Amino acid sequence: MPTTSFSRNVRNPATVAVSLFVLLFALLGSVLAEGRGRGPQRQPTPQGPVRHETKFRQVPGASLEIRATTYDGSTNGTLTVEIRNPAKTAQKFAATGLYFVPEGDPDQAPQRLGAVGPMQITRGDGKEKTELVIAAGATVEVKLDVFCIDSHRSSPSPQNVFNVGVSRLPKELAATIEGRADNAVRAKRASGAAARPAAKSEIQSEVWKSRDAKWIKLDGEGQQEATK
């Protein structure tokens, strides 16, 4: 009787072993793939505030230097800055009217940020201050409440790098913004809310309204402001 192919394979232990190994490997791969499909999906890690080692620049109208290191926010948020006094005598610092320009092409850059309201010393008692005295040779880190000042641009992110503008906002515009912000905070305080955090939306609206009422060219202008 002629020998069949099946009979020959059965008589060959090596062939049988290889076939079983291939079958087991295929089954194992199928099980692992199914297990991965049923498991939890890995979510991308959210990006938080990023520290940028920027250069110190002159504080407009003061014998001080400043650099913005970290932005925590979007349309508005908290900008951490370092203020350095290179002088031989103590110097006063106030953030009123300061604004910060994002690095990059101004024709595509996101909104600039304006400082509004009091500041807090990072390693201090947490109290809000409108003015600081920086000792000679000292560097102080503070947190500023900042709000976007260009309603027609996109919102910035923590990945954006900011530098202080070459000048402050005009005094009249800065005073208008601060006054309206104070009114918004007082209204929230009267309702029993945590005044300043609760008033951020109202303050942002007032900043844009004040800025758009009479457009004034600032540091960092581009084609995005061509129709202003």
Mean pLDDT of all residues in 100-121: 96
pLDDT, tens only, 140-155: 999 999 999 999 999 9
Q: Is the pLDDT of residue 192 over 90?
A: no
- Cα(2)–Cα(189) distance, rounded to whole angstroms? 101
> How many Cα atoms sit within 13 Å of 39 on the Cβ side?
8
Q: Is the pLDDT of residue 162 over 90?
A: yes
- Cα(175)–Cα(181) distance, rounded to whole angstroms? 10
The residue with greater pLDDT, 22 or 111, is 111
| Cα 60–chain centre separation | 23
Give the model's pLDDT for residue 16. Answer: 42
- What is the set of domains in the chain, with CATH numbers? 57-168 (2.60.40)
The residue with greater pLDDT, 112 or 11, is 112
Q: Is the pLDDT of residue 158 over 60?
A: yes
Helix intervals (H) in 68-219: 171-190, 195-198, 200-213
Beta bridge partners of 76: 147
pLDDT, tens only, 193-203: 667 889 999 99
Question: Counting Cβ atoms within 10 Å, is residue 95 exposed (0-12), middle (13-18) or buried (19+)?
Answer: buried
Indicate the pTM of the whole model: 0.78
Mean pLDDT of all residues in 126-139: 93
Mean pLDDT of all residues in 40-69: 81
For residue 87, what are the CA distances in angstroms to 84, 135, 144, 190? Answer: 9, 9, 23, 43
Give the model's pLDDT for residue 19. Answer: 52
Find out whether 54 and 67 touch, Cβ atoms under 8 Å: yes
